[in-house]
Amino acid sequence: MGTPLPRDPIADAQRNWERHGWGDVAAPMAAITAIMRTQQILLARIETVLKPFGLTFARYELLALLSFARSGALPMNKASALLQVHPTSVTNAVDRLEKAALVARSPHPTDGRTTLIELTAEGRTLAKKATAALNAEVFGKSGFRPDDVDHLIRVLGTFRRDAGDFTEE
Amino acid sequence: MGTPLPRDPIADAQRNWERHGWGDVAAPMAAITAIMRTQQILLARIETVLKPFGLTFARYELLALLSFARSGALPMNKASALLQVHPTSVTNAVDRLEKAALVARSPHPTDGRTTLIELTAEGRTLAKKATAALNAEVFGKSGFRPDDVDHLIRVLGTFRRDAGDFTEE
DNA sequence: TCCAAACCCTTGGATGTCCTAGTATATTGC
DNA sequence: GCAATATACTAGGACATCCAAGGGTTTGGA
């Protein structure tokens, strides 16, 4: 957003940590801070691409998830688990997507507690277009070298498994 | 975050991308999604550690930044630039920190447009304690292997530089 | 059978981030 | 010197995320 800084603020922070005698954790601190900032940059790029479609990243993720569901519908709690966000965030996203006629709520046939979310034809079309845009403008231009991409997937995959995201492998 | 999933949802998404003929961008998509999720996990850990201090990550970052400033005070716009967040986010954070008597606003001596933020004694003490807690509970237990930490710092550093965060190096 | 515990979704509140103005102060150019 | 432009902060609104709490539904043990 603003002008580029003359120096890397995270490298400066790492030096500050070392200068204060926290050298043993300065590097992980820098790595974690870098992850936070990278996420911010990537999210901004994604939101920029999605804006013309009237979508935010949260809503896009839900549309994309539904578009890959075999039956075309998912229970809210399943979506919450797969997207790894709080159930209330799904409620919020579905409210807005439903208002835009991109998804529809329907009662679960056998479990009265559960609500199913289903893509409308319009929602499926928009998901396809938005995905094409993201692939072309963000994922296809990530700026990461292919080996770095593989390394990120491996390292962050291990981290997420250890953090309790999933148990496989 | 509920129970761990049986399978890695990001690996599943990558397979879905490949199945739909987007194999050329499936890996970057997975890496970027993993960064988003990792950030979410790390932020949750950080917020958990900071909660007993009555701090959020945004407010902690500001306190930490001020505690490293030589003069002990920084203009708001400088803080905004160094933290790489929107000026209104700094206004928001300062409002709350000021209400908690951890920082104080003061007019800039020569530039009437500028407001300086300064740590109070209380703020400086709290920043020190919060940093110690974060070092012990989060940065010291990141779960990343030392070589992976170095790799992350390097790869994400390049990414941030290319994204226009800074110009050095 | 029946009631307590577990589960699912929604509402309301707190935070944070950004954007778009709007106000006030500085700086620049004629 | 004064008007036009630039800069700094704040106000209000849109979104997203989480937590706590509430109401409806199902399940399972006494």
Share of chain B above pLDDT 70, in %: 98
pLDDT 10s digits, B74-133:
999 999 999 999 999 999 999 999 999 999 999 999 998 999 999 999 999 999 999 999
* pTM of structure: 0.95
Mean pLDDT calculated for residue range A52-59: 97
Domain boundaries, chain A: 53-137
Cβ contact A22–B148 (<8 Å): no
A105 beta carbon to strand C: under 7 Å: yes
Q: Looking at the predicted structure, is the pLDDT value of residue A1 above 60?
A: no
Residue A59: band (very low, low, confident or very high) from pLDDT cuts 50, 70, 90: very high
User: Residues 31-60, chain A: which have Cβ under 7 A from strand D?
Assistant: 56-59
Q: Looking at the predicted structure, is the pLDDT value of residue A41 above 60?
A: yes
Residue B166: band (very low, low, confident or very high) from pLDDT cuts 50, 70, 90: very high
What's the pLDDT at A158?
97
pLDDT 10s digits, A99-131:
999 999 999 999 999 999 999 999 999 999 999
What's the pLDDT at B3?
78
CA distance A133 to A127: 10
To the nearest whole number, what is the mean pLDDT of chain B? Answer: 95
Measured between beta carbons, which residues in chain A are less than 8 angstroms from residue B169? 8
pLDDT top residue among B54 and A70: B54
Helix H, strand E, coil C: the string for chain A is CCCCECCCHHHHHHHHHHHCCCHHHHHHHHHHHHHHHHHHHHHHHHHHHHHHHCCCHHHHHHHHHHHHCCCCEEEHHHHHHHHCCCHHHHHHHHHHHHHCCCEEEEECCCCCCCEEEEECHHHHHHHHHHHHHHHHHCHHHCCCCHHHHHHHHHHHHHHHHHCCCECCC
pLDDT 10s digits, B112-121:
899 999 999 9
Mean pLDDT calculated for residue range A40-44: 96
| Closest residue to C18 (CA, C1′) | B86
Mean pLDDT calculated for residue range B56-61: 97
Q: Looking at the predicted structure, is the pLDDT value of residue B28 above 60?
A: yes
Judged by CB atoms within 8 Å, which residues 35-64 of A form the interface with B?
35-43, 64
Mean pLDDT calculated for residue range A148-157: 98
Rounded distance in angstroms from the CA atom of residue A91 to the C1' atom of nucleotide C23: 39
Distance from CA of B118 to the nearest CA of A (A): 18
Q: Looking at the predicted structure, is the pLDDT value of residue B169 above 80?
A: no
Q: Looking at the predicted structure, is the pLDDT value of residue B1 above 60?
A: no
What's the pLDDT at A3?
79
CA distance A113 to A10: 47
Measured between beta carbons, which residues in chain B are less than 8 angstroms from residue A49? none
Residue B4: band (very low, low, confident or very high) from pLDDT cuts 50, 70, 90: confident
CATH topology of domain A53-137: Arc Repressor Mutant, subunit A (1.10.10)
Q: Are B105 and B115 in contact (CB under 8 A)?
A: yes
What's the pLDDT at B112?
87
Residue A53: band (very low, low, confident or very high) from pLDDT cuts 50, 70, 90: very high
Measured between beta carbons, which residues in chain A are less than 8 angstroms from residue B89? none
Instruction: Indicate the class that CATH gives domain B54-140.
Output: mainly alpha
CA distance B79 to B60: 13
A95 beta carbon to strand D: under 7 Å: no
| Residue A17 CB contacts under 8 Å (≥ 6 apart), including other chains | A23, A25, A26, A29, A30
What's the pLDDT at B70?
87
Q: Does B138 touch chain A (CB under 8 A)?
A: yes
Q: Is B138 helix (H, G, I), strand (E, B) or coil?
A: coil
